[in-house]
Amino acid sequence: MERKEMFEKFLTGMQGIEIEKDIPSLREVFKGSLNIGTSVPGYDLTKPNFETELIKKHFNTVVAENCCKMMNVYKGPGEYFWDEADMFFDFAKENNLRARWHNFVWHGQCAPWIFYKDASKVNMKDFFENKVLAEDLASSEQIDKRVKDWIQSVCDRYRGQIVSYDVVNEVISDKKFALRTREDHSYWQDVMGPDYVEKAFHWAHEADPNAELVINDYNLETISEKRQAEYDFVKNLLSKKVPVSAVGLQGHINMRSSNIDFIEETIEKYASLGVKVLVTELDVSFFDHEDKSPLILSEENLKKQADFYYELFECFKRQNKKGNLSDVILWGVSDYTTWKNHFPVPGRGDAPLLFGKDGKAKPAFWKIIENV
């Protein structure tokens, strides 16, 4: 289904769903400690729905789920499509919400033209099959300029509204525990050189000196080799005075096999480098990644999830008190639009967030505010 069509379907389906107006507001409960945020789906934000109502009531920070990604904004050399990003930032401004930028440099949802010498000669099939010939790839000067322009243009447009940027996303390979290369579906290092992460951070810092600059990745809180590789990588960046201010733990975890002690150790480990930690994309799936069984939204499962969320937030609160963790951003507002409904099993459904498909607060919501 086309993106636009999918969002229109969401808006139609969400009609008539009401939020609970009289329950505590998450952002008020956590005021003065954690920033509580959410990603915002790509539907038309000028047409209110129950999720936008939930955002206004419960969250103080927002990040665009898709519309600020390179593929959706950076359409060619000097060519930008701002309409959807503008709508996102207007929404944030109107509702007094802190905004994050996700993201500048990522191999996923990137703009393939950026890697080509001739930006008008992109062959998507070759690109995704990792078959672009060396002679067709951009020179390092070419790509440096394109990336620098992209960062500068975003900052020129929204500087002052953005509190933090995911400067790079998912740069460490899950297989090699080192910077990704073309074998791991990333052209960045091969085309721009091994210091591409440093460059991106320096350019972001020049373009918006007051904002927080984040290196973001997944599985840091679940795979110890990857966690260590990221630690070593960030340590090296800091030793070279690269302006990294925080490590982002995406936090796509689950209530079956994720381990809260490991998550807490991870936060402490990165904080020991003198940077902050943010949880940037939290969702707590009902399923272990390998589990293909159907969704059972039983009371027992909802309680299990609530207990998991409770322990997780206890950890977050401890880490926040220690000054290590500042933000917890959920990846999605409610179970209605969560990407996990289609990943890893398309169409199976999942229920990883704090609000249900009916717009109501789930047991996990009530549990995390029990003890604040």
Nearer to ligand GLA (CB atom), residue 169 or residue 254: 169
Using rule CB under 6 A, residue 366 touches ligand GLA: no
**What residues numbered 87-116 form the site for ligand GLA, per CB under 6 A?**
102
Nearer to ligand GLA (CB atom), residue 218 or residue 365: 218
Nearer to ligand GLA (CB atom), residue 109 or residue 140: 109
- Inter-residue contact 360 to 76 (CB < 8 Å): no
Tokens of 35: 């920033």
Of these residues, 217, 221, 264, 283, which one is catalytic?
217
Selected binder of ligand GLA within 218, 309, 355, 365 (CB under 6 A):
218
CA distance 54 to 19: 7
- Inter-residue contact 149 to 201 (CB < 8 Å): no
CA distance 225 to 174: 9
- The DSSP call for residue 172 is B
Using rule CB under 6 A, residue 339 touches ligand GLA: yes
CA distance 7 to 243: 37
Q: Cα 99 to the chain's mean position, in Å?
A: 12
Name the residue whose CB lies closest to ligand GLA.
339
Token pair 């936090």 is at which residue?
A: 251
CA distance 328 to 316: 8
Between strands 74-76 and 79-80, the pairing is: antiparallel
Nearer to ligand GLA (CB atom), residue 102 or residue 227: 102
Q: Catalytic site residue 198? A: no
Compute how many residues bind ligand GLA; rule: CB under 6 A: 6
Q: Catalytic site residue 166? A: no
Alpha-carbon dihedral sign for residues 266, 268, 273, 276: positive
Please report how close the Cβ of residue 169 comes to ligand GLA at its closest, in angstroms.
5
**What residues numbered 26-55 form the site for ligand GLA, per CB under 6 A?**
none
Binding letters toward ligand GLA, positions 262-291, x by CB under 6 A: -------------------x----------
Q: Catalytic site residue 299? A: no
CA distance 220 to 266: 7
Binding letters toward ligand GLA, positions 150-169, x by CB under 6 A: -------------------x
Angle among Cα 335, 366, 63 to the nearest 5 degrees reads: 45
Using rule CB under 6 A, residue 188 touches ligand GLA: no
* Site residues, ligand GLA (CB under 6 A): 102, 169, 218, 250, 281, 339
Q: Among all residues, which ones are annotated catalytic?
A: 170, 217, 281
